[in-house]
């Protein structure tokens, strides 16, 4: 687990290093001997190859590390967009690619030379700090000075040649531009964020953009207005190339939350319509202070908590909100097996403030800074390095009385289901039936103070075994009555008796189907 933690630190440090020093980046304008059209002859020994040689824009050699071992392939990439995307993607813990631009230049590439790009300790080295790591730490300051001197010299040469390249600062100008020293993270031209993300999801780079592109996008965002504040910092509406994005700015004391959320959002196959779309993460300096940025999709309806205070919903809208949020939670909880799989993820701080409402009045889950992951392959439970706990008002009884099995991943999923039952209750209160609706109130508004303490909540749930108040009118409405039954199955005192997130989703879909049938009849 310690080795994995260092691996994630290495990956995130890529966000902080100038792109010029990236070993896998190549100048966008590099000439190729294949002519203006860039048709290179490359060695091809991939299972997809029909012949021993192929032609393309760039040759490549790659390794993928999975449960079945190491897969080494060589071949060619076709088209400038695909070439930029793959060749600028940083190596991950399980995948690396090396590109070259001369005829048959990948012929002499070996598996070990490409595996050397993987950001992990050398094979056979113990999990602790080996001699190579200690030497790196000792020579770090000297290397940093050397790199700075090299960068200054290169900058002077560029200036003398009259070919300086500048990072674009305005979000209304061209797309992702080349970095200042001639290297490229990903030259996007006029691509939108959606197009960039669509391409990146096919490259094995996780749920967001490649790391170098994340840095470039982050530096071109203009902050427009502050739209929210919380214990972590602030949320701003920003703009990139005319598109709205949300910029979550963490305070320096909450660096662990920023690090963890970045780590989780870069999980392969995390992207889902009911999980907040991740764009980029960066550590930047503004007004002489360091800021930790997390850049995501922007939803102008705000959180479910905000929306329910402003507006009530009809039964169809309420069910759509509940079912979509349940779909996001089910995807989080599910593990996807395979080389490019996804670990199971428990949220640990699910509440209406951490669920956003889209323009279509569906929901997506956000704020993954306290998430915990689990993989069946090695039975590893990763709780991160963040000592914070969830929101007291939404805590399950086993968390409050400290009886939760913290070494069991299923225990964390059951805590999420308890909290989701509270969210269902909030939606039900603001759902019309027979022209009647209650004003918004948070769970246990009638049992604990406005800012309840840990002891307040423990007494209400563990000693008095209280549950949120259910008005009589809900039982006279078939939809709300079905929701009451469902939320109560999320609130069992015994965690193992609670429904799974997938069962909650299927039940909500069934209730929605019954509503449609009633309308048709």
Burial profile 166-195: b = 16 or more Cβ within 10 angstroms, e = fewer: eebeebeeebbbbbbbbbbbbbbeebebee
Selection from 276, 19, 28 nearest residue 154 by Cα: 19
| DSSP symbol at 74 | E
Catalytic residue, chosen from 181, 254, 282, 349, is: 349
- The fold of the 2-120 domain, in CATH, is CD59 (2.10.60)
Residue 364's contacts (CB-CB under 8 Å, 6 or more residues apart) are 273, 274, 275, 276, 277, 299, 324, 325, 328, 355, 356, 358
Superfamily, domain 304-520? Transferase(Phosphotransferase) domain 1 (1.10.510.10)
**Is 418 in contact with 491 (CB distance < 8 Å)?**
yes
349 belongs to the catalytic site: yes
How many degrees, rounded to 5, is the angle at CA 110 between CA 104 and CA 114? 100
- Do 193-297 and 304-520 show the same overall fold? no
From CA 130, how far away is CA 493, in angstroms rounded?
A: 48
Sign of the C-alpha dihedral computed for residues 107, 87, 270 and 512 taken in this order: negative
Superfamily, domain 193-297? Phosphorylase Kinase; domain 1 (3.30.200.20)
Q: Where are the domains of the chain?
A: 2-120, 193-297, 304-520
Reading the chain (521 residues) residue by residue, the pLDDT tens digits are 444 455 455 555 554 444 433 334 444 333 344 443 458 888 898 777 878 888 888 898 988 887 667 888 898 888 877 777 778 777 777 788 888 888 888 888 888 888 888 875 344 334 444 455 555 555 666 667 677 777 666 655 454 444 333 323 333 333 323 222 322 233 333 455 555 445 444 333 345 566 656 666 777 888 999 998 877 789 999 998 889 999 999 887 788 888 889 889 888 788 899 999 998 888 877 677 778 999 999 999 999 999 999 999 999 999 999 999 999 999 999 999 877 789 999 999 999 999 999 999 999 999 998 999 999 888 889 988 766 788 999 999 999 999 999 999 999 999 999 999 999 999 999 999 989 999 999 999 999 999 999 999 999 999 999 999 999 999 999 999 999 999 999 999 999 999 999 999 999 999 988 887 776 66
From CA 45, how far away is CA 501, in angstroms rounded?
A: 44
Selection from 14, 81, 2, 77 nearest residue 44 by Cα: 77
Selection from 489, 485, 442, 461 nearest residue 401 by Cα: 461
From CA 83, how far away is CA 430, in angstroms rounded?
A: 50
Q: Is the pTM of this model over 0.85?
A: no
Segment holding 217, helix H or strand E: helix 211-218
């Amino acid at each position: 687990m310690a080795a994995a933690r260092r691996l994630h630190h290495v990956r995130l440090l890529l966000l902080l290093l100038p792109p010029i020093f990236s070993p896998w980046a190549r100048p966008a304008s590099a000439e190729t001997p294949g002519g203006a059209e860039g048709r290179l002859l490359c060695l091809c020994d991939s299972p997809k190859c029909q012949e021993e040689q192929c032609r393309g824009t760039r040759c490549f050699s790659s390794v993928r590390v999975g449960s079945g071992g190491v897969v080494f392939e060589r071949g060619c990439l076709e088209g400038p967009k695909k070439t930029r995307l793959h060749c600028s993607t940083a190596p991950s813990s399980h995948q690396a690619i090396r590109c070259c631009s001369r005829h048959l230049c990948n012929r002499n590439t070996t598996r070990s030379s490409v595996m050397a790009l993987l950001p992990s300790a050398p094979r056979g080295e113990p999990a602790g700090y080996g001699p190579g790591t200690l030497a790196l730490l000792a020579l770090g300051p000297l290397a940093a000075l050397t790199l700075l001197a090299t960068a200054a010299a290169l900058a002077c040469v560029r200036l003398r040649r009259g070919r300086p390249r500048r990072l674009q600062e305005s979000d209304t100008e061209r797309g992702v531009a080349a970095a200042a020293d001639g290297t490229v993270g990903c030259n996007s031209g006029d691509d939108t964020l959606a197009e960039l993300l669509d391409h990146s999801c096919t490259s094995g780079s996780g749920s967001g953009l490649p790391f170098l592109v994340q840095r470039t996008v982050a530096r071109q965002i203009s902050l427009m207005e502050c739209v929210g504040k919380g214990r972590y910092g602030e949320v701003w509406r920003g703009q990139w190339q005319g598109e709205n994005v949300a910029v979550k700015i963490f305070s320096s004391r909450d660096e662990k939350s920023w690090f963890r959320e970045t780590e989780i959002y870069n999980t392969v196959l995390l992207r889902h319509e009911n999980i907040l779309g991740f764009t980029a993460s960066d550590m930047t300096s503004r007004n002489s202070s360091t800021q930790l940025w997390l850049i995501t999709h922007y939803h102008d309806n705000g959180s479910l908590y905000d929306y329910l205070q402003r507006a009530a919903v009809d039964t169809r809208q309420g069910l759509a909100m509940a079912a979509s949020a349940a779909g996001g939670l089910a995807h989080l909880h599910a593990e996807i097996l395979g080389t490019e799989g996804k670990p199971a993820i428990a949220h640990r701080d699910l509440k209406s403030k951490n669920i956003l409402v889209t323009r279509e009045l569906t929901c997506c889950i956000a704020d993954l800074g306290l998430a915990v992951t689990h993989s069946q392959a090695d039975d590893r439970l990763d709780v991160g390095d963040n000592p914070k706990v969830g929101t007291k008002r939404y805590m399950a009884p086993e968390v409050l009385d400290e009886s939760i099995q913290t070494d069991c991943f299923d225990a964390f999923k059951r805590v999420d289901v308890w909290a989701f039952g509270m969210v269902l209750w909030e939606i039900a209160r603001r759902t019309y039936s027979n022209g009647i609706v209650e004003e918004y109130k948070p769970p246990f508004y009638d049992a604990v103070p406005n800012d309840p303490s840990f002891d307040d909540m423990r007494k209400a749930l563990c000693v008095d075994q209280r549950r949120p108040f259910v008005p009589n009118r809900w039982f006279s409405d078939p939809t709300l009555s079905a929701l009451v039954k469902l939320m109560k199955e999320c609130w069992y005192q015994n965690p193992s008796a609670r429904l799974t997130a997938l069962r909650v989703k299927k039940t909500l879909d069934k209730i929605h189907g019954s509503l449609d049938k009633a309308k048709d009849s």
